[in-house]
Amino acid sequence: MLLAGGTTATIMASIPALKLHAAETSSETKQIKITELPIYSSPVNEVKFEYVEEEIGSFRSAISEVRKSVWSYLDSVKDTTDSLKQKYETGKAHTTELITYIQDDPAILPRAGVITVAGLGGIVAGYKGGILRKVVLSSSAMAAAAALCYPKEAVALTNDIYNITYDAVKPLWEDSSAAVEEKVKQTKEVLNEKKNEVKEKIASKPVDKSLMDMGQSKEEDKDMYTTRGS
Measured between alpha carbons, how far is 114 from 180 in angstroms, rounded to an integer? 50
| 161 falls within a domain | yes
- Higher-confidence residue of 25 and 158: namely 158
pLDDT of residue 3: 43
Bridge partners, residue 8, by sequence = 2
Q: What is the SS3 string spanning the chain?
A: CECCCCCECCCCCCCCCCCCCCCCCCCCCCCCCHHHCCCCCCCCCCCCCCCCCCCCCHHHHHHHHHHHHHHHHHHHCHHHHHHHHHHHHHHHHHHHHHHHHHHHCCCCHHHHHHHHHHHHHHHHHCCCCCHHHHHHHHHHHHHHHHHHHCHHHHHHHHHHHHHHHHHHHHHHHHHHHHHHHHHHHHHHHHHHHHHHHHHHHHHHCCCCHHHHCCCCCCHHHHHHCCCCCC
In a domain, 75, yes or no: no
Of residues 70 and 41, the one with the higher pLDDT is: 70
Identify the residue with better confidence: 106 or 215: 106
Is 146 within a domain? Answer: no
| Tens digits of residue pLDDT in 151-210 | 777 778 788 777 888 777 777 766 666 677 777 888 888 888 888 777 777 777 666 665
d(CA 155, CA 166): 16
Would 5 be classed as within a structural domain?
A: no
Q: Is residue 133 part of a domain?
A: no
Domain presence at residue 81: no
Crossing angle of the two packed helices 78-104 and 58-76, in degrees rounded to 10:
50
> Coil, strand or helix: which one is 186?
helix
The share of the chain scoring above pLDDT 70, in percent, equals: 70
Residue 155 included in any domain: yes
pLDDT of residue 67: 92
- For the chain, how many structural domains are there in total? 1
Please determine, for residue 5, whether its predicted confidence score (pLDDT) is greater than 80.
no
Task: Give the closest residue to 152 by CA, choosing from 119, 100, 97, 103.
Answer: 103
Whether 61 has a pLDDT exceeding 60, the answer reads yes
CA-to-CA distance for 117 and 150, rounded, in angstroms? 16
Give yes or no for residue 17 having a pLDDT over 60.
Answer: no
Provide the residue range defining the domain that includes 161: 151-200
Q: Is residue 80 part of a domain?
A: no
- pLDDT tops 80 at residue 143: yes
Query: Which of 86 and 213 is assigned the larger pLDDT?
Result: 86
Confidence of residue 70 (pLDDT cuts 50, 70, 90): very high
Q: pTM higher than 0.75, yes or no?
A: no
Structure confidence at residue 20 (pLDDT): 44
Q: Report the C-alpha gap between 150 and 142 in whole angstroms.
A: 12
210 vs 91, higher pLDDT: 91
